[in-house]
Structure 1
């Protein structure tokens, strides 16, 4: 479900899983608790409300600020919950996080000096991130003495999961980067590994405004089975799709991605099985045979998740390429559970010198308001050097 549809409809409440008991708060209500009627007087920047609140010592201006800031606040809390793998359709939990951020903003308001030149949200940026992490800390299964210890554990866990190094090498590297002893680094990693089978420590992202939801870790749109399971997409949907595969397909996914779908254990990426080992175990004549079977299995799981409404696919094919002025065009197709084989392709034109793109025609099945599939394609293509643009490409995105 796109974010715009999420905040402007209650269609999720019509499903059995997300049914809202009569009289209970809905996500729509939770997303609009600071909206005022009538609308507050217009100003050039919402920072002007904060300045007026301080200089006139009148809290009414802070309510005006919240009225306009609430959509961005919703997005930031929603994305944090999404990235952490938490149920983001729980209105009460969402409200807990959201109100904690508002309390942090009120505390920041007491010390904010508008004469120093920084906008209030720039000043409060760090405090908002810490507040969200602190809320998450209290929900963890482990015991963390402080927010600093929790952040350190997350950092060491991310390094362990993504570096492909041994435990000793990770401890040495983390100690050098953080200027702490190896004993301290080992303690942080131990704390993280105690929770790693239940808690998605390993990857966070930035929202569209560049505001951090945790550590600043770049994520691309490529398929990574372990990352998709633990960092965003609903684990129950992945489990259901996984169990529709046959035994060999399941084994290939677990071996190659160093993950156990039964207990949730995630091993070091360096310990994942090579295609050579997989070929030997299943008596393939060549390594490429095992690799082809693995790729077909990934495609099959992807299609199952598309049918479940969890993933979407974007198919791209290059139609024009002008090397002299670095202009190119791609046709794209939006594939999701409601799309049809005969849906028409859309078209996107790219201007690499200006790093911009124009949606010439919207594909059938793409969302008219949010243009989710086209925007995902634009972000991905503009990251590729002009000389390396592929003729065909299939992308995976979470809906």
Structure 2
């Protein structure tokens, strides 16, 4: 039992301590909460840390493992958040997920048997996935009796959107009768009406294939969310035929019934270009992006969502990367512009001037802009973009 273990960290301190009562946690710090100072002693294999932890019953060695394993855990957490949608870099939630994974890693430590040949990092891999699923299961508006049932529901969702006969395929996969498979299908259909649903692929990993997402806002969530549907429908009807077709085809969603199709079968931009003769793939993509922005502006006008418009005013490069930049931002596509200064080398930002000089409302828009740009890959920092969100 872990009760027999000590966790003596004498001589080591967190390299980037988190102040729970201070300002918002920066992404740079959120990715380094397990980093120690000084550096842990060098070993030939990370598994040596786990073997030492088990032999000496000292979880200090477990902390040494986390110090080196954190980049991989960050990668998996980002992948999970990318499928999960919402705020792609909510640092509080980012840290909560990592701590959930750490708890699972600790709980499974005593079950690890090095004699079976697998290193601890390999052994713990599926349990980390389970920890993330369990974290989301606790957040979502619907619930099931266990993580096993939760996975089966998601498996049915995948089959429903990727096979012709989901009930038969599910019954075959789980060796159950058709009546039970039908019950799982009813659950899946009911969940789709409550909130966006992210399914698990056949390999057990998360996939966003059945979710109608643009990279800037959650279209499916807004579309069929109670009273919002009327606002979306009115906004959509103001688009021209080409814009409507581009959105429906590329987002794999039917605006008449709200059914979300599989992203695996959605048309490429090359195929969309063929639909509109005389266009190229890049032209179709630009047209699609413009349609997204136009619909976003219409939805803002309807009060269905909010948006912050960003324009790069200036930038400073160092070693082919943008080291710093100043962005202008506008709240809800209207009014006076504000300015934000970014230092991308250390992941910080400073509001120079609030849009509309409003300290109560537009500061929230500024924070959304900061969160979005600090999360962008450096080479993909936009010159101009429109970021939508819900308050």
Same-fold call, TM cutoff 0.5: yes
Q: Please state if 1:301 is matched with 2:288.
A: yes
**Does the 8 Å contact 1:161/1:202 carry over to 2?**
no
Conserved 8 A contact 1:34-1:63: yes
Task: Give the superposition deviation at 1:143.
Answer: 2.2
Q: Partner residue of 1:199?
A: 196
In the TM superposition, residue 82 of structure 1 has moved relative to its aligned partner by 0.8
Tell me the secondary structure at the aligned position of residue 184 of structure 2: helix
| Structure 1 residue matching 2:68: 3-state secondary structure | helix
CA–CA distance in 2 between the matches of 1:244 and 1:32? 47
Quote the offset at 1:115 in angstroms.
2.4
Per-residue Cα deviation, 1:286-339 (whole angstroms, up to 9, x for no partner): xx76677897655411467799xxxxxxxxxxxxxxxxxxxxxxxxxxxxx98x
Shift of 1:87: 2.1
In structure 2, the partner of 1:105 is 105
- Residue 128, structure 1, aligned to residue 128, structure 2: yes
Tell me what 2:64 maps to: 64
- Show the counterpart of 2:240: 247
Q: Could you report, residue by residue, the CA deviation over 1:194-226 in whole angstroms, capped at 9, with x for unpaired residues?
A: 222522324669xxxxxx7x4376x9xxxx9x7
Match of 2:205 in 1: 215
Q: Cα distance, 1:261 vs. partner?
A: 6.1
Say whether the 8 Å CA contact 1:27–1:91 is kept in structure 2: yes
Q: Does structure 1 conserve the Cα–Cα contact (< 8 Å) formed by 2:243 and 2:291?
A: no
Task: Give, in angstroms, the shift of residue 58 of structure 1.
Answer: 1.2
SS at match of 1:235: coil
Contact 1:85–1:200 (Cα < 8 Å) also in 2: no
- Give 1:76 shift: 0.8
Q: Distance in 2 between matches of 1:299 and 1:159?
A: 33
| Matching residue of 1:176 | 172
1:1-399 matches, cutoff 5 A: 23-163=23-163, 165=164, 169-197=165-193, 198-202=195-199, 214-215=204-205, 229-230=212-213, 233-235=215-217, 246-253=239-246, 255-256=248-249, 258-260=252-254, 265-268=258-261, 298-302=285-289
Q: Distance in 2 between matches of 1:182 and 1:173?
A: 10
Note closer, same or farther for the CA distance 1:202–1:290 as it changes in structure 2 (3 Å cut).
Answer: farther
TM-score when normalising by structure 1: 0.55
Taking only aligned residues, the RMSD between alpha carbons, in angstroms, comes to 4.4
- The answer for the alignment partner of 2:5 in structure 1 is none
Partners of 2:291 and 2:72 in 1: how far apart?
33
Question: What SS does structure 2 have at the residue aligned with 1:63?
Answer: helix
Shift in Å at residue 237 of structure 1? 8.8
* Distance change >3 Å, CA 42–CA 195, structure 1 → 2: same
Question: How many residue pairs are counted as aligned between the two chains?
Answer: 264
Residues 243 and 288 in structure 2, CA contact (< 8 A), matched pair in contact too: no
Superposed CA deviations along residues 266-298 of structure 1, whole A, max 9, x for unmatched, are: 34569x999xxxxxxxxxxxxx76677897655
1:126, distance to aligned residue in structure 2 (A): 1.6
In structure 1, the residue corresponding to 2:143 is in which secondary structure? coil
Structure 1 pair 72/255, CA: closer, same or farther in 2 (3 Å)? closer
| Structure 1 residues 292 and 178: CA distance shift in structure 2, 3 A | farther
| CA distance in structure 2 between the aligned counterparts of 1:38 and 1:103, rounded to whole angstroms | 24
Aligned partners of 1:116 and 1:258: how far apart in 2?
Answer: 46
Superposed CA deviations along residues 43-99 of structure 1, whole A, max 9, x for unmatched, are: 111111011100111111111111111111111111111112242311221122111
Give 5+ residue unaligned stretches, structure 2: 1-20, 223-231, 268-273, 295-310, 313-376, 381-391
Q: Distance in 2 between matches of 1:68 and 1:306?
A: 41
SS of the equivalent of 2:142 reads coil
Superposition TM-score, scaled by structure 2 size: 0.56
Query: Aligned pair in 2 of structure 1 residues 200, 292: CA closer, same or farther (>3 Å)?
Result: farther
Aligned equivalents of 1:292 and 1:155: distance in 2? 41
